[in-house]
Amino acid sequence: MITFKIERDGDEFHSWVPELPGCHTHGKTVAEALENLKDAVQLYLEVLMEEEIAKQSLELVE
């Protein structure tokens, strides 16, 4: 399960996922912050998968 957190930060809304360190973004509205966070989570998971594939490839070569 992934938890989305959103809180007001001045004139914007800061959004993040506690389970994914460094995965955070912001938006001018709650809806924009949530949409941006969905994109950030997708990119975060894509990078994790790419890193795991690269790690497995290195292990095969060694």
Domain-wise residue ranges, the chain: 5-61
If you average pLDDT over residues 11-30, what whole number do you get?
Answer: 97
If you average pLDDT over residues 14-36, what whole number do you get?
Answer: 97
Q: Which residue has the tokens 């989305």?
A: 4
* pLDDT class of 13 with cuts at 50, 70, 90: very high
pLDDT score, position 2: 85
pLDDT tens-digit map of 52-61: 776 766 565 5
Tell me the CA distances in angstroms from 8 to 1, 13, 22, 51, 62, one per residue in order.
23, 4, 18, 33, 49
Q: Which residues, 6+ apart, have CB-to-CB distance to 36 below 8 Å?
A: 15, 25, 26, 27
Q: Count other C-beta atoms under 10 Å from residue 24's C-beta.
A: 17
Q: Which fold has domain 5-61?
A: Double Stranded RNA Binding Domain (3.30.160)
pTM: 0.79
pLDDT score, position 57: 63
